[in-house]
Structure formats: structure tokens, C-alpha cells
Amino acid sequence: MKSYEGETFASSIMATLFTSESVSAGHPDKVCDAISDAIVDACLSIDPMSRVAVETMVKGKSDKAIIILAGEVSLSGKPPNYEKIARDTAAKIGYTSHEIGMDATSQELCDVQVHITTQSPNISQGVDGDSDDDVGAGDQGMMFGYACNETEFEDELSGRYFPLPAALAQRICRRLDMIVQNNEIPWIRPDGKSQVTVEYDDSGNPSHVHTVVVAAQHDSKLKDRFDGSEESEHRFVTDEIRKHVVEHAIPSHWLRNGYRLVVNGTGRFADPGGPYSDAGITGRKIIVDTYGGMGRHGGGAFSGKDPTKVDRSAAYYSRWAAKHIVASGLATRCEIQVAYVIGVSQPVSLHVNSFGTGSVSDKELEQKINTVFDFRPSAIVRDLKLNEPRYSITSSGGHFGRPYDSEGHFEWERLDENRINALKSN
């Protein structure tokens, strides 16, 4: 049986553990999400009222890679160059070499197929209107928003109100992305994954990180530094990932009890990887995109969709409302479910669950939320400024639990003191 450094079985038999994963920007599914969201941003830059629903598929092969774009776009103005967007986005992520999995810059080594039509008139008649009551949801379905106080036990992550395992897994992958973008470690490639297991105490509060798993694609020639020894290569990769990724990304507070680290569990993750080793499709990482499995998900993907699609916009708004509930001190955990009928503005239902942590009943929380937040689709778009082209940054690293910035990214993570005060007083 293979074992790993820091492995401790006996002490953890009775422990309460929870695990979340994340993937890097170069994971094939995330490449697809990035291309689809880059198309959304390009369309919204031309026409803020654009209607976009675009899916992407990528696959690398021995002779060449292929990128397929399919979906619906309606806008006022000349459509963007979809092929160029796809190539530029994949190249920016790092796929500029056929040897590592895909060369998106090469016409000979990468084909791009475009199959994009206009939005169905039966859909558009339900989402176009002159008032908040006229503008209906772009589809039926249910969406969830979630928040908790697990990141509020130490300063570095405070203000996120997010499940700790998911927050840490996301930080590891964002660190891998940063290393690739800045070429800090030249042998690390764009494709990667992380997984973080957190141990919880008897009160249900996070205690410390128990296990970290990282998969990082690397240069196939790396073992040549070690006379061809894959074992020596693996020890080196593990040490570098520990120092430059894991202990850089995870605050020391959560590592104080020691942790088990597993890097490239099969021993190697060498070129070619990325789209060559695994086909990618838009919307296949919805748990990675949300709460790492700790909060529920309605099933609809985010990337490639304009904000009339409530799969995306209502999930953002539900997160915003849940975060305000926890930040106001009304609960330490809050999950909100909202559901819609296509073409109808008012939600068909709104459900709140504080898991017994609320200072008032869940019914009272629901009443407060309905008083302070407007879940009609056009109000959601207005409150969160969702017609602005700021979606590309969300395509990797998680859609939630990330800091709102001065440029308006992650508007649904911004805390509004007026709404917090209104929740407390209503």
C-alpha cells in the first residue's frame, strides 16, 4: 500500500473531515469555461443587452487539437471574432505548444469550429421588457446561495464567509495559475488540480488542514535533471509544490498541526497533458465553481451565459443575500434556494435554511430577505451590475468567496452596510 509524507491514520479515525477540490485555469474544462466567458465579455462590450449562451469543447490529439464553439448569440452590432477569442484565451492560459497538450496559436496544429446561431424568439420574448415586472427569467430552474463563518477565524481569509476547504483548494489553484502566468517555475504547466481536507472540532468549527492533494502537470524532461530517476523527480516536485504552492497559498494558522501532502499521486503528471490527456467541456466543474460540495447547487452552469440566465445571475444574488445574513450575525450558516419559471419575473419560491444557527427562525430570515433583496431578474442585474463585461475573471478560481475589488469584479461578494443594517432592523 502506497503511503505519503505526514500520513497519520490512527489519530484521524474519529475525526470529522470534509474535503473540497478545485482545478487550475489550464484544466481542460476550465479552458472551455474561460473561452465561453471571454465570448460573453466580448458581446457585452459591444452591446450590454446581449443575449449569450455559448458552450465550448476542446480536445487535443496527436496530430492537432480542436476547439468547438456552439450556442446562441443575439446582439445589436457586429458580432466579435469568435475564433480569435477562443485562440487568444487558450493561449493566454498557456496553451501555446502542441507538446504540452495544445497550441491554440497555430492554424495547422489547432482547428476552431464555430457553430453559433441567434437566440430563439420564444426565449427572447420572455426576457425582454420595459420594467422589472416585464423582464422574466431566461429559464426555469432552482438556484442556491450559501455562506458560513468558517473563514472568519483568522485575519487572512476574513470577510469571505465561505467554506474553508473550498476556499483553500481555490487558493492553491489560483497560486498554480499565478506561477504559470509569471513563469515563476518554468517546468510547471497550465493543467492542475487541488484537494483540501479540513478537520473539524466537536463544535463543528474548522480546526486545521488534515490533507492536501495537488496534481500539477510538468515538463516531461524534468527527470533528466535527476539522471532519469522518476523517484527523485517526484521528491523534487513534491518539495517545490509544498514550498511554493501549498504553504504559500494556505495561511499558516491552518497548517499549525501539520498536514499530509500528496503530489501527483501516480508519481508523474508529465507532458502532454491538458486537452490532450482529457477532453474539456463548458460547465463540467459546477461544484468547483461554487461551494466545494458544502453548499448545494441547482445544476445549472455559469460560464458562457449572459445575466438573463438565472442559472448564473440568481445564483450570484442568492450568494449575495446569504453572505449578508451571516455577516449581519443573524446566522453562522445560511443557504438560500430560489426557483423561477421561464418568462416570469417573480420567483416561484424562496427557501431559507440556517441549519439551526439562526438568531431568529428561518421563516423570519426569509421575510427579512424578501424585504431587503429583490429577486426579480432585472433587479438582480441592476443591483449587481451584471451587464458589464467582468465575467472572464470568474472562469477559474471559483465564482464565490473571492474579494470584491475596486474594478467591480465579484460584485456579489461586496457587503452593503445599508442592507446589513436593514436586515438587523426589519
Q: Catalytic residue numbers? A: 27, 29-30, 55, 72, 193, 269, 278-279, 284-285, 305, 309, 311
Grid cell digits, residue 275: 486537452
Q: Which of 109, 86, 55 is nearest to 283 (CA)?
A: 55
- In whole angstroms, give the CA distance from residue 334 to residue 331: 6
Half-sphere exposure of residue 205, counting CA atoms within 13 Å on the CB side? 9
Cβ-contact 127, 135 below 8 angstroms: yes
